[in-house]
């Protein structure tokens, strides 16, 4: 009976076109890139000391080492804006891939244990290896994200009825609480609470050119890999049985996809800390705008995620100048109500 249903679903999937809106996607990507460039220009100009755009232009193309404003632009604000764009794309695409692979609309690196696992390993790094170079801290972040994801998916799949979106989200909450508690215990015992508090607050204030030089190859390569996997993720999002019936090697796609997710989320978290909800909200907005084809969802999510993170970073500097509000807190103010609305909506649909 199950086999006949699988064949029937696969036949329907061959006949059923995956709904996508290529024209809308092209407009979103093009318009988003233009808006991103403008937002990054504003991010470089706005801060504790506002700098004119003409000064920004001079600092980039006619640099004068005698002017402090040129150093502020080149050494502080440009890497901050570039880093915000990179990690915004990383978080958003990681969330889109997780939602597609697990068919869980609530999937996000912050909700499924990746952030908490990364925080635990960084706490270990701060406590026992304080002189660790950034590239190794990124590796610690990858390992921690893998630990958190492994625990969440392991616990979520233990029930007889299998892994459901609600069960996966509950497992993520439990594992995140446990790993966060262990991280805070390490922070208190070894007096690294200030370093860890900065990581938990989340923000792009500390991004340097050295970090950018490490970040962009990892995130860039992972975004390309995500695009290459996008068609397979579209098929996988139809259901694992249907995907297998269509000849997709689901185990390989899930493994490759999870590696890409861990690299994107781990690299992003190592740079800006524990920022949640970007990977939850942005893919839903992209899906609403461009349809359910991941060949368009993933690039649209990358552009919209970059734009959202840059705007959040501008907001962090503008809410209470000259002091900074953590960008992670601002994003949570939007993300938490969105999560509650989405959870209630999905609960009604399943009911």
pLDDT tens-digit series, residues 164-181: 667 787 888 899 999 999
Q: How far apart are CA 221 and CA 264, in angstroms?
A: 9
Is the four-CA dihedral 192, 118, 87, 305 of positive or negative sign? negative
Statement: residue 163 has pLDDT above 60: yes
Over the stretch 47-94, which tens digit does the pLDDT of each residue have? Answer: 777 788 888 888 888 888 888 888 889 998 999 999 999 999 999 999
Statement: residue 5 has pLDDT above 50: no
For 162, the token pair is: 């299998």
Could you give the percent of the chain with pLDDT greater than 90?
39
Q: How far apart are CA 285 and CA 316, in angstroms?
A: 22
Q: How far apart are CA 204 and CA 309, in angstroms?
A: 9
Evaluate whether 43 touches 273 at the Cβ level (below 8 Å).
Answer: no
Evaluate whether 274 touches 203 at the Cβ level (below 8 Å).
Answer: no
Q: What is the mean pLDDT of residues 19-34?
A: 90
CA atoms within 13 A on the CB side of 168: 23
Evaluate whether 112 touches 145 at the Cβ level (below 8 Å).
Answer: no
Q: Tell me the whole-structure pTM to 2 decimals.
A: 0.88
* Count of H-run helices and E-run strands, the chain: 15, 0
Mean pLDDT for the chain overall: 86
Statement: residue 7 has pLDDT above 50: no
Return the SS3 of 291: strand
Angle, vertex CA 343, rays to CA 339 and CA 347, nearest 5: 175
Statement: residue 8 has pLDDT above 50: no
Statement: residue 11 has pLDDT above 50: no
Q: How far apart are CA 321 and CA 234, in angstroms?
A: 44
Return the SS3 of 20: strand
Q: What is the pLDDT of residue 9?
A: 44
pLDDT grade for 346, boundaries at 50, 70 and 90: low
CB-count burial class (<10 Å; 0-12, 13-18, 19+) for 161: exposed
pLDDT grade for 12, boundaries at 50, 70 and 90: very low
For 324, the token pair is: 């900074």
Q: What is the mean pLDDT of residues 307-321?
A: 90
Q: How far apart are CA 177 and CA 174, in angstroms?
A: 5
């Amino acid at each position: 009976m199950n086999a006949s249903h699988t064949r029937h679903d696969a036949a329907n999937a061959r006949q059923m076109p995956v709904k996508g809106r290529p024209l809308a996607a092209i407009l979103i990507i093009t318009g988003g890139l233009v808006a991103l460039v403008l937002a990054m220009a504003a991010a470089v100009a706005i801060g504790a000391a506002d700098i004119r755009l003409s000064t920004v232009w001079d600092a980039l193309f006619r640099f004068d080492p005698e002017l402090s404003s040129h150093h502020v632009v080149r050494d502080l604000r440009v890497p901050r804006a570039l880093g915000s764009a990179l990690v915004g794309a990383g978080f958003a695409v990681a969330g889109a891939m997780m939602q597609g692979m697990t068919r869980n609309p609530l999937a996000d690196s912050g909700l499924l244990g990746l952030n908490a696992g990364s925080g635990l390993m960084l706490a270990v790094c701060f406590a026992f290896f304080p002189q660790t170079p950034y590239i190794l801290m990124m590796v610690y972040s990858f390992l921690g994200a893998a630990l958190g994801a492994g625990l969440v998916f392991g616990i979520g799949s233990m029930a007889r009825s299998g892994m459901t979106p609600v069960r996966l989200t509950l497992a993520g909450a439990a594992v995140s609480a446990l790993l966060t508690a262990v991280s805070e215990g390490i922070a208190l015992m070894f007096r690294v609470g200030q370093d860890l508090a900065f990581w938990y607050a989340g923000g792009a204030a500390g991004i340097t050119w050295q970090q950018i030089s490490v970040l962009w190859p990892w995130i860039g390569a992972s975004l390309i890999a995500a695009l290459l996997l996008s068609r397979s993720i579209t098929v996988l999002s139809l259901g694992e049985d249907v995907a297998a019936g269509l000849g997709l090697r689901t185990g390989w796609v899930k493994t490759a996809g999870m590696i890409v997710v861990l690299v994107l989320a781990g690299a992003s978290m190592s740079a800006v800390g524990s920022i949640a909800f970007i990977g939850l909200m942005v893919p839903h907005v992209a899906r609403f705008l461009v349809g359910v084809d991941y060949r368009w969802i993933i690039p649209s999510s990358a552009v919209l995620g970059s734009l959202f993170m840059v705007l959040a970073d501008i907001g962090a500097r503008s809410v209470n100048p000259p002091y900074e509000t953590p960008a992670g807190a601002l994003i949570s103010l939007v993300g938490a109500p969105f999560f509650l609305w989405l959870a209630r909506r999905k609960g009604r649909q399943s009911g």
